Amino acid sequence: MTVSAILRCGKNLPSNFASRRLIHSSVVRGDMMDWFRKNKKDSIKPVEDTKDIMRKIEEDGGAAVSAASQSESTKGKVMKLNADNFIGEEIGYVDNRARKEAIANVRFNTWLTSHKVKDELEINEILISAYNESVSDVSNAPVSEISDAVLKKDFDDLAFKFKFTKLLQSKTGYLIPDYLLTTMKTPLEFKDYFTQEILSGKQQRFKESEPNAIHLTNDTFKSKNIRVLEDVPGRFQKKTKNKVLSELYLLNSQLTNEKIKINTD
């Protein structure tokens, strides 16, 4: 190195050099999130002795252990150790259990007998019994035979009809629709209903799980311009469909072969 170069290196620095900040030595500038991290005070949960915790739980039932032993996120969430609010059971579960217990004690349609009427002789006995038990409050005389003319007469008292139909449903084990309870006028009409709708097995054809659970016949309609077609089960419909499709496939194959033969000739 020459003397002139040494002199140039030893040259005095500018007067304002001290006020300048070099890039590599500048102060770190933090953002807003750094401020939150710096000012966040992490609460440290003190460790308590197990014997002290057990003693506090036994004294206050677990309502509050200690303010120092709870973090900010767990305060107010300590449940009492009782039968209705036990630790580990949610409030919704306790409510559902209480509701099920209440419903279990309610009697739904227990006035209906579990024994269902099975034949016409039994329905005759039940109808006579229901009529005689209901007739005690009115001037009508009791009956002993199903062929008695009194059973063909219209109900002349609404309270008598209500009691009779209630006993009839209770003894037979079947509910009668409200519409029929209103429109039927004589006791024998109820016998005809049980004979035609229940004892005949007609109601067993209905399936509530199927949306089109309706059984109709030509005898259902008296008008001559109504014709009821018989219901075709699904397996027969599928079988017929496959048969038609196979015939169409064969016809299509024959037509294709004929066209090929004509073109080759």
Distances (CA, A) of 111 to 40, 168, 172: 69, 11, 11
Number of alpha helices (DSSP H) and beta strands (DSSP E) in the chain: 9, 0
User: Residue 251 class from Cβ within 10 Å (0-12 exposed, 13-18 middle, 19+ buried)?
Assistant: exposed
Q: By the 8 A CB rule, do 160 and 171 touch?
A: no
The C-alpha angle 213, 215, 221, rounded to 5 degrees, equals 135
Q: pLDDT tens digit string along 31-71?
A: 767 766 766 655 556 677 888 888 877 776 555 544 445 55
Q: pLDDT tens digit string along 174-186?
A: 889 899 999 999 9
Q: Please identify which residue in the block is written with the tokens 């009779």.
A: 164
Q: Is the pLDDT of residue 131 over 50?
A: yes
Q: Out of 3.30.420.40, 3.40.50.300, 3.90.1150.10, 1.10.1200.10, select the CATH number for domain 120-205.
A: 1.10.1200.10
Domain coordinates of the chain in residue numbers? Answer: 51-104, 120-205
